[in-house]
């Protein structure tokens, strides 16, 4: 896969780059964590704690250095219903739903960790290129749409002077990020953009939306808090509780793993390195378990913040560790200063992420790829925007698999010839599986065939049980017609599953020593045929 991320520098990172990029990412994490906390219906502090713990654990133990994890919208959407149902199970005003969320995160983390322990992360390889392109395009659009909400104040769209100030500051941030790397890459352009625009707003006494006003507009008071405390979720441990949280745990685990593994693949592509999917699964699970016991909202890998980190030069684990610890320091000591950062600066950074995330090469290959691949790209993009990432990726994989199966179902062929002894040979080409069995059966002319028939599978592959059953039924049809069929070049496993294999399966061991010979009259057939198959 080659996406057009021209603004990504593939150089090896350094300690300085990791520290500066980590600081940049931590600033971008604040409004994202707060916004997703509001989506889930929990306190902003719960979202910030979640981002801190997800980022720290996955940076230390994860399988993809340089990838950033935190509270995400994909998981926040799932949490809404769980929290609402949990609140309904407690007394009015008790907010019991938050405790059910913590318990669900623990179970989700266990599922994710087991996924990695049993080395199931490799199944991400089944995601086709077209699905990956749809994934990045859809997420770019989702990130863009989420930033549009920042152009509201008190639920109303900005207008007049406020809107022009916001647009101007956003444009300035984007301009700094675009032009500064052309002059110097010593300091991350995103960090410079945030600092410069913040300085202009603060010292110029410009009235515009800030992190503090954004939090207050959502019903929060600020980001200042203490260290997260260890607590076991306070819920009744009974069957009703398990019936409530386990389905949500499965969904949270699936959404988290899909988004994390897809982001890992993307970061691999950007940096031209290779991460460990299984190790990342264990780290994601561990991080969500920690969130469940320490009062965070959990999460998974974040494509936007990961790209900010990579673009800013962050390559090692130190960048993620710095981002997480800096976020905690903001919560403990620097909340006043962080709350002064204008939202416009952070929006400008995210808009540049959108530009870098979108696979612009999609427009160049529209006329060069199969229509089915183009439809999959559009489908995954649309479903990512309309529903969520998990549904989009699963739908894309299923559609791609069906297209692949249909195309291969038409590739089964049979070359026919009759030798000088009157024995008819069928040479089968192409994969034999559930989709091609009907076409396979149509290749045989049982009533018109001679008494002896040889079916050679040397150029074919027996793929599944449907193929085995097709071979069995073919043999039965020939036997009912009073004719003898011999099957050649079947593997050992296939021969074991073919009915009456001892009577109809034979292979020339001199030509193919890896195949099994299971026919009593083998020598008689060889002497009779004297063909290239013998």
**Per-residue pLDDT at 512:** 43
Residue 358 is classified by DSSP as S
Least confident of 153-157, 216-220, 237-241, 509-513: 509-513
Q: How many other C-beta atoms lie within 10 A of the C-beta of residue 386? A: 11
Residue 502 to residue 517: CA distance in whole angstroms = 9
- Please check the confidence at residue 251 and state whether its pLDDT lies above 80: yes
Contact (CB, 8 A) for 335 and 223:
yes
Q: At 177, is the pLDDT very low, low, confident or very high (cuts 50, 70, 90)?
A: very high
Q: Tell me what the mean pLDDT of segment 207-232 comes to.
A: 88
Q: Sign of torsion, CA 515 521 523 529?
A: negative
- Please check the confidence at residue 521 and state whether its pLDDT lies above 90: no
Q: Which two tokens stand for residue 231?
A: 């607590």
Q: How many other C-beta atoms lie within 10 A of the C-beta of residue 22? A: 28
Condensed to tens digits (0 to 9), the pLDDT of residues 333-383 reads 999 999 999 999 999 988 998 898 888 989 999 999 999 999 999 999 999
Residue 129 to residue 396: CA distance in whole angstroms = 10
Q: Tell me what the mean pLDDT of segment 77-88 comes to.
A: 87
The H-assigned helical ranges of 184-238 are 189-203, 211-217
pTM for this model (two decimals): 0.76
- Please check the confidence at residue 214 and state whether its pLDDT lies above 50: yes
Contact (CB, 8 A) for 314 and 25:
yes
Condensed to tens digits (0 to 9), the pLDDT of residues 370-424 reads 999 999 999 999 998 888 777 888 899 999 999 999 988 888 999 999 999 899 9
Residue 25 to residue 217: CA distance in whole angstroms = 23
- What residue segments make up the domains of the chain, in order of their start? 15-204+236-402, 413-529
Nearest Cα neighbor of 346 from 173, 175, 222, 177 is 173
Fold observed for domain 413-529 = Transcription Regulator spoIIAA (3.30.750)
**Per-residue pLDDT at 92:** 53
**H or E element: which one contains 460?**
strand 452-462
Condensed to tens digits (0 to 9), the pLDDT of residues 273-307 reads 899 999 999 999 999 999 999 999 999 999 889 99
Least confident of 42-46, 76-80, 232-236: 76-80
Q: Tell me what the mean pLDDT of segment 113-117 comes to.
A: 96
- Please check the confidence at residue 529 and state whether its pLDDT lies above 70: no
**Per-residue pLDDT at 517:** 32
Across 54-68, 136-150, 252-266, which has the greatest mean pLDDT? 54-68
**Per-residue pLDDT at 498:** 81
For residue 46, give every residue at least 6 positions away whose Cβ sits within 8 Å of its Cβ, in sequence order, or none.
37, 98, 295, 296, 297
Return mean pLDDT, the chain: 87
Q: At 206, is the pLDDT very low, low, confident or very high (cuts 50, 70, 90)?
A: very high
- Please check the confidence at residue 100 and state whether its pLDDT lies above 80: yes
Q: Which two tokens stand for residue 212?
A: 């503090």
Q: Which two tokens stand for residue 187?
A: 């300091």
Q: Tell me what the mean pLDDT of segment 488-492 comes to.
A: 83
Nearest Cα neighbor of 342 from 223, 204, 202 is 202
Q: Tell me what the mean pLDDT of segment 484-496 comes to.
A: 84
């Amino acid at each position: 896969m080659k996406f057009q991320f021209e603004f990504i520098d593939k150089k090896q990172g350094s300690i300085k780059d990791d520290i500066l990029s980590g600081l940049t990412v931590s600033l971008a994490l604040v409004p994202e964590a707060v916004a997703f906390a509001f989506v889930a219906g929990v306190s902003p502090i719960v979202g910030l704690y979640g981002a801190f713990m997800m980022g720290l654990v996955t940076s230390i133990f994860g399988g993809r250095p340089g990838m950033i994890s935190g509270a995400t919208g994909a998981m926040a959407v799932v949490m809404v219903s769980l929290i609402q149902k949990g609140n309904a199970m407690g007394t009015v005003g008790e907010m019991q739903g938050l405790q059910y969320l913590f318990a669900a995160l623990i179970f989700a983390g266990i599922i994710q960790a087991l996924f990695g322990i049993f080395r199931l992360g490799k199944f991400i390889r089944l995601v086709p290129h077209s699905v990956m392109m749809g994934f990045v395009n859809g997420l770019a659009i989702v990130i863009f749409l989420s930033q549009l909400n920042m152009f509201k104040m008190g639920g109303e769209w900005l207008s007049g002077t406020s809107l022009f100030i916001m647009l101007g500051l956003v444009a300035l941030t984007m301009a700094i990020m675009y032009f500064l790397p052309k002059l110097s890459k010593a300091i991350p352009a995103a960090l410079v953009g945030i600092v410069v625009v913040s300085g202009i707003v603060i010292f110029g006494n410009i009235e515009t939306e800030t992190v503090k006003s954004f939090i207050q507009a959502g019903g929060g008071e600020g980001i200042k808090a203490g260290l997260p405390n260890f607590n076991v979720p306070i819920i009744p441990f009974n069957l009703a509780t398990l019936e409530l949280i386990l389905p949500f745990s499965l969904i949270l685990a699936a959404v988290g793993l899909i988004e994390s593994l897809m982001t890992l693949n993307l970061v691999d592509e950007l940096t031209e390195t290779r991460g460990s999917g299984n190790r990342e699964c264990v780290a994601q699970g561990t991080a969500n378990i920690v969130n469940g016991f320490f009062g965070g909202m959990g999460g998974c890998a974040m494509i936007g913040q990961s790209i900010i980190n990579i673009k800013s030069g962050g390559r090692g684990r130190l960048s993620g560790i710095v981002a997480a610890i800096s976020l905690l320091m903001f919560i403990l000591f620097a909340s006043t200063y962080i709350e002064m950062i204008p939202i416009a600066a952070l929006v400008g950074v995210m808009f540049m992420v959108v530009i870098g995330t979108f696979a612009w090469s999609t427009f160049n290959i529209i006329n060069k790829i199969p229509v089915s691949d183009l439809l999959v790209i559009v489908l995954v993009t649309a479903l990512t925007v309309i529903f969520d990432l998990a549904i989009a990726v699963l739908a894309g994989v299923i559609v791609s698999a069906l297209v692949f199966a249909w195309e291969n179902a038409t590739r089964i062929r049979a070359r026919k010839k009759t030798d000088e002894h009157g024995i008819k040979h069928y040479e089968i080409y192409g994969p034999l599986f559930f989709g091609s069995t009907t076409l396979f059966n149509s290749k045989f002319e049982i009533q018109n065939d001679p008494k002896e028939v040889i079916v050679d599978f040397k150029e074919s592959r027996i793929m599944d049980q449907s193929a085995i059953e097709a071979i069995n039924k073919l043999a039965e049809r020939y036997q009912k017609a009073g004719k003898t069929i011999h099957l050649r070049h079947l593997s050992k496993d296939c021969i074991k599953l073919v009915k009456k294999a001892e009577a109809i399966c034979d292979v020339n061991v001199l030509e193919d020593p890896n195949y099994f010979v299971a026919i009593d009259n083998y020598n008689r057939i060889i002497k009779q045929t004297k063909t290239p198959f013998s």
